[in-house]
Amino acid sequence: MKSDFLQNLNKDAPAGLVVFLVAVPLCLGIALASGAPLFSGIIAGMVGGIIVTAFSGSDLGVSGPAAGLTVIVLSAISELGSFEIFLTAVMIGGLLQIVLGLLRAGIIGYYFPTSVIKGMLSAIGIIIFLKQIPHAFGYDKDYEGDMDFIQADGENTFSELSNMLDFITSGAIVVSALSLIILILWEQKFMKKIKIFSVIQGPLVVVIGGIVLGKLFSGTSLEVSPEHMVSIPVSSSFEGFLSQFTLPDFSQITNPEVWVVGFTIAIVASLETLLCVEATDKLDPHKRITPTNRELRAQGIGNLVSGLIGGLPVTQVIVRSSANIQSGGQTKAASFIHGLLILISAMIIPNILNLIPLSSLAAILFIVGFKLAKPSIFKQMYKEGPKQFIPFVVTVLAIILTDLLVGIGIGLAVAVFLILRKIYLSPYVLKTTKADNDEHYRIVLSENVTFLNKAAILKELNNMPNNSYVLIDASKTIHIEHDVLEIINDFIIASKRKNIQLNMTCSEHLDLNVFEATIKEIMISDAQLSELPKGNDLKVVASIN
């Protein structure tokens, strides 16, 4: 598929518009939660959409300020003493990300299991849905874009649902309910067959409808007050617009604390980006693969520019990226258009954007969240078996009850545990046969035998009866760790005491370590192996899979 910037503009332009509508309140909310100037979030949105997109290799990823960095930003601004000094740290973080990209650190992103990535997507969908319920009811105390279970105000995702019952705004409920009806209607097949409805996007109708309803409800019992609407800083002139950009304090470039913050930003932002890249590639209907090292460099350039002009640090963000995909985005044009619209709107029409009710945007995010966490996804993962379903569910629950990075870490730990358990349980297959009334045992080792297999192999060898014949078959084995070779070496010695006839067959490429001389004493050739008892009575008595 060609990625010509203009090839799919009829799909990318509407998708870019939807992402823009979703991104603006998120940019503002994250800036507010970070203790930074509100306009710094808008700057980061512009940079993520325009600068990062220009250098990125991701067709569908959308970058901007990330909720996962709010705690780091908030504490860093306080510790460093000023926002200008913090901007210097953002630039340093960007430079370090460029270095990570050049060092090809992007390969880390390929080591996250699919079950964990799918769990992350579903968890994000559920969180989006839960976090938007208060906004839909007109309770906007928690900032837009908050993805953590424990909120900055001491509440959590579930307690916020209880608190909102005391602050319900009738007008907001009407706006969100009508918006949701429109969006659901727009998803129906019969609507998509009508040409005008395939051109005009449902989210745009919802936003315009929200503005109109806000005006109609003014002065009535359904009035939606300004605190329940988007709130972009408004400047009266172009000069006023430019004055909202901030330069970093370069005098602090040698401050060790600034470098510590810069390093922290680089690591956390890179991890979040790599996770989002993996998730976005999973959602891509065309299954394109994003070059991760190039993405790290693009994010580094973005943070370098963002820090230079007064913006928050940026990462690739799953909420915006998934909104882009679900709105029909096809190429980088959608992300670029979203960034361009943020710039134009902040410069020319901030007053109009400030008329958009947050409850209408909540309806848009409801649909995004539902599509990420559809029940069919849970059914599919369940059908794939416990080894996929358990890490998936653990990741979902862990992210919902903690935050993105901690939840991913827990899910990854469970996935690795299940992999290690499988390795532990399947180091060999034990076969036995009768020949002249004697017991013959063949222990067939797997391709890789590690220290995790020590206990199982040691137990099996210790159970070999006296006066038996034992063949350790390592003909297909590529690697045996020192610990296991030591066990085999000890068994060679013990076999003489137990009158066990012991032989072993190995691949010529197998490194027998310091035990080579001892093990070669019991090794047999292929010709000798063919003479061993086989027959129809050979049966597997222990198969550990």
Regarding whether 442 and 295 lie in a shared domain, the answer is no
Q: In this predicted model, what pLDDT tens digit does every residue of 69-122 receive, in sequence order?
A: 998 999 999 999 999 999 999 999 999 999 999 999 999 988 889 999 999 999
Number of domains within the chain: 2
Domain boundary among 326, 344, 371: 371
441 and 323 assigned to the same domain: no
Q: How far is CA 207 from CA 20, 25, 27, 520, in A?
A: 12, 13, 17, 78
Residue 318 counted as domain residue: yes
pTM exceeds 0.75, yes or no: yes
Q: List the structure tokens of 303.
A: 């943070």
Residue 416 in any domain: the answer is: no
Residue 235 DSSP label: -
- Pair 437, 363 in one domain: no
Residue 87 is encoded by which pair of tokens?
């901007």
Q: Pull the structure tokens for residue 430.
A: 């034990």
DSSP state of 321: H
Task: Confirm whether 434 is domain-assigned.
Answer: yes
* Residue percentage of the chain with pLDDT more than 70: 92
Q: What is the identity of the amino acid at 374? A: K
Say whether both 38 and 171 belong to one domain: yes
In the listed set 349, 371, 393, which residue is the last one of a domain according to the structure? Answer: 371
46 and 187 together in one domain: yes
Whether residue 535 is predicted with pLDDT greater than 50 in this model: the reply is: no
Q: State mean pLDDT over 481-501.
A: 91
- Residue 99 located in a structural domain: yes
DSSP state of 514: G
Partners of residue 63 on adjacent β-strands = 316
Distance between CA atoms of residues 206 and 209, nearest Å: 5
The strands making up 469-474's β-sheet, listed across from edge to edge, are 501-506, 469-474, 438-445, 428-435, 539-543
Judgement on whether residues 356 and 434 belong to the same structural domain of the protein: no
Residue 268's nearest CA partner among 87, 404, 416, 399 is 404
- Of 365, 410, 366, give the one whose Cα is nearest residue 390: 410
Q: How do strand 438-445 and strand 469-474 relate by DSSP bridges?
A: parallel
DSSP state of 67: G
Q: List b or e across 147-166, with b for residues whose CB sees 16 or more CB atoms inside 10 angstroms.
A: bbbebbeebebeebbeebee
In a domain, 155, yes or no: no
**One domain, residues 535 and 463:** yes
In terms of domains, do 15 and 143 share one? Answer: yes
Q: For residues 202 and 328, state if they share a domain.
A: yes
> Is the residue at 223 inside a domain?
yes
Q: Mind listing the pLDDT tens digit for each residue in 170-194? A: 999 999 999 999 999 998 888 878 8
Same domain, 187 and 282: yes
What's the average model confidence in pLDDT over 148-156? Answer: 89
Q: Is residue 119 part of a domain?
A: no
Task: Identify whether residues 347 and 462 lie together within a single domain.
Answer: no
Q: Is the sign of the CA dihedral 230, 236, 237, 239 positive or negative?
A: negative
Q: Which domain holds residue 301?
A: 9-112+131-149+167-371
419 part of a folded domain: no
- Residue 521: give its domain's CATH number: 3.30.750.24
Asked whether the beta carbons of 321 and 67 are under 8 A apart, the reply is no
Q: Are residues 230 and 340 in the same domain?
A: yes
Cβ burial, residue 220 (10 Å; 0-12/13-18/19+)? exposed
Q: Measuring CA to CA, which residue among 545, 87, 57, 19 is closest to residue 281?
A: 57
